[in-house]
Chains A and B, each alone.
Chain A
Amino acid sequence: MTEPVRRYDVLVVGAGPAGLAAARAAASHGARVGLVDAQPRAGGQVWRHDVRRGMPAMARRAFAALAAPGVDWLPGTQAVLAQPGWLLADGPRGALQLHYRALVLATGARELLLPFPGWTLPGVTGAGGAQALAKQGWPLRGKRVLVAGSGPLLLAAAATLRAHGAQLLGIHEQAPLHALRDFALRLPRWPGKALQALALRTRLAGVAYRAGSVVVAAHGDDVLREVEIDGPRGRARLACDQLAVGYGLVPDTGLAELLGCRLEAAGRHRRVAADALLRTSVDGVFAAGEALGIGGRDCARIEGAMAGHVAAGAEAPARALSARRRHARAFAGLLHETFALDPRIHALARPGTLVCRCEDVPLGALADLPDARDAKLASRCGMGACQGRICGTALAELGVCRPEASSDGGRRPPLFPVRLAALAESFTHDPQEKRP
């Protein structure tokens, strides 16, 4: 089990709904499948393990993929570097070389965090971030929590926070009421989604849900004390212990970029470009789920299965899923329309508001810098431990600096911080290390 060089027919990166479906589909054709995820448990963000509450039945069924014959499940394993035909990964078993004939990118999404005055105060997190922390056992009992931002994730996050004992002060959705009404009217086309929404709403009975309501500032000396809201009834300040604010999700394209896959515009962000059979621009590399554009769990499951089939050489079962995929993607389109961001949100950050938390770079330092590479060289924005994952996404959303068009195509590993020793592992029995 500790073999550091492993060879698979299909390697799947990401064990959320898309990756689990891909692994199962590929294994069903007899392929040797490797499934890796940086988290210690499968499920991705949407089915993240909850220390106190069980898993939904749908997730439990999907987890059967982990035990499927031919599937080698490698939890806690982070892909860090791409070479032709293999990935370098690091995890509890040390550094691994994961060779593949076909690779499925099921890398999911990241939360869009946007700067506003006070957003770096302790007590302010993303909405998805707060949900993940709650599931890991973060103490919330009796804490006054305000959930804000945009999108269906706010409801899911609020439900989890409440179930873990938080006192919810309200959910502040930036989208205006009329957009939410239109959304509700069209929801019956996706009965599953309508039921899901209804169930969430039931779990959130008694919690105020305010539309057209934007967090404009977080106030506090060294920790969060008050949240300032701009809503249809004007401005108000609310005393609060915790603010969970997220503006939706963006595709995680990091590994695709390392591999040299072509990306395409998705609003102000980018997604992996793929054809109808989910083939990316790089031979043998497929993508599924949120990496192809935010589409939600159901879309991810369908695309994961499609990509798994095609990666294992079976196109027919993938084609058979195309219609379901289109239906699920149409729902995603509706979400984007409904939760399009209010221009007020883009104007929240002041010149003195930090945009890069790793390197303490305020927005004002980026004035007149045309792209993210200029910004990096001149201000260090994006040069810290997160390597621009947070600030780069925020700046793209704000339209401040164009995404980096670097001279080396942005292919600068590692994908995530990794022990230098893992990068120095040559996988031979003749280490080149010598006495100095």
Chain B
Amino acid sequence: MKAFDLIVVGAGIVGAACAAAAAHEGLTVAVVEPGPVGGGSTAAAMGHLVAMDDDPAELALSAYSLRLWERYAMLPEIEFSRCGTLWVARDERELAAVPARIARLAGAGLRAERVDARQLYELEPQLAPGLAGGMRVPDEAVVYPPRMARHLLDQAGAAGAQAWLGRRVVELLEHGVRLDDGTRLAGPVLVATGVALPQLLPELPLYPRKGQLAITDRYPGLIRHQLLELGYADSAHGDAERSVAFNVQPRPTGQILVGSSRESGVADREVSLPLLWQMLQRTFAFLPILRGLQGIRIWTGLRPATPDGRPYLGPLPGRRDVWVAAGHEGLGVTTALGSARLIVDGLLGRVPAIDPAPYLPARMLGGAAA
């Protein structure tokens, strides 16, 4: 039986980032992935690198991760495009909340600026008339997530990690895993299987939150920023079973990616037409020009969601040598790199750059956070 310092289960962007970080530290690493690399939630994701500031823990992890992303900004294959994020205020009430958000972002070291109505239309002339202004976060970017997952896995491989692609972990053993072909690998295990987490760790609550995206043909220059409504967090983090929000992204190709929606407790991958109607109508209300654009593809994806909206990062009490990195919901692409650092610091017994306590899986198991 082969022995490793760490067996990473899952090569989505989170698992791949953990494998790369661990291998970089000199650990001997195994990665097991049954499907394509970055083929799950990673492939379905928008790839927006964004700081969400409505939860301090989420803000700390995303701000930390955004700094780590900078070293990949010049990597052509991940299609890093620093378009910035422009949060759009519909009215004076939404605009009035902007200074507090700017202050929170500044507290995490992120630059943001208030935008009045005139500036808003200079930045994005296609926006519907009558909007109040907004907030611009100029350093945020978009990437192509499956390529980043592959790049990270390649990095891990270059540092000596071994990958079992096309193989599935069917069982967690006392100190290792068993694969579907009977192979046994020994060592501490990191479960980074996203929405599939309950298959290996049923004790951790995690459920799919389905999203739908549409992408258009190429319209270069039509919009310049990732555009979101300031009310986005209400949709994204509210408790509604189904919600939509204005969330549109210019791809470097000139294609426009149109989101976003959330549906709780739905595990099928069918496109939901009523929700698509709602999502597109919401989009047209902000960007009427999109009505006439050619949509070339609609797809769905499942976000791995936890009850409190925070990911699981750390050791799992009650199991020997089992760690978890999963449950990032819609922020897995943004926070993969920071998550990987927290995991590796934890494995090596180091003091991490940010407080790991809010993300420890122990919080869900009735015990006090370690």
Contacts and interface: CB of A to CB of B under 8 A. Distances in A.
A250 to B, nearest CB: 21
Contact of A385 (B88, B214, B296): B296
Interface stretch (A6-14, A118-126, A372-380): A372-380
Contacts of B36: 371, 373-374, 377
Given A377-B146, A431-B281, A432-B281, A417 B296 contact: yes
A81 B295 CA distance: 12
A419 B294 contact: yes
Given A378-B147, A412-B299, A436-B286, A426 B294 contact: no
Contact of B297 (A359, A370, A373, A412): A412
B270 A419 contact: no
Contact of A420 (B43, B88, B216): B216
Given A377-B37, A420-B290, A414 B269 contact: no
B297 A420 contact: no
B271 interface: yes
Contacts of A432: 277-278, 281
Contact of B258 (A88, A371, A417, A420): A420
Contact of B298 (A377, A413, A421, A426): A413
Interface in B258-306: 258, 269-271, 273-274, 276-278, 280-281, 283-286, 290-300
Contact of B217 (A385, A412, A426, A431): A385
B50 to A, nearest CB: 21
B131 interface: yes
A417 B281 contact: no
A407 interface: yes
A387 B299 CA distance: 13
Nearest to A375: B36
Residue in A417, A425, A431, A436 whose Cβ sees the most chain B Cβ within 10 Å: A436
A419 B214 CA distance: 11
B358 to A, nearest CB: 31
B128 interface: yes
A206 interface: no
A424 interface: yes
Interface bin, chain A: 35 or more
Contact of B281 (A359, A385, A412, A424): A424
B293 A419 contact: yes
A359 B217 CA distance: 11
Interface residues of B, number: 49
A275 B298 CA distance: 32
B38 interface: yes
B302 to A, nearest CB: 9
A425 B39 CA distance: 31
B270 A421 contact: no
Contact of A418 (B88, B253, B284, B295): B295
B90 interface: yes
Given A407-B269, A436-B128, A424 B296 contact: no
A408 B147 CA distance: 20
Contacts of B38: 377
Interface of A: 81, 83, 88, 359, 370-371, 373-374, 377-378, 383-385, 387, 407-409, 411-414, 417-421, 423-426, 431-436
Interface of B: 35-40, 43, 88, 90, 128, 130-131, 146-147, 150, 166, 214, 216-218, 229, 246, 253, 258, 269-271, 273-274, 276-278, 280-281, 283-286, 290-300
15 contacts: A374-B39, A377-B36, A377-B43, A384-B296, A413-B298, A414-B298, A419-B293, A420-B294, A420-B295, A426-B281, A436-B90, A436-B128, A436-B229, A436-B285, A436-B286
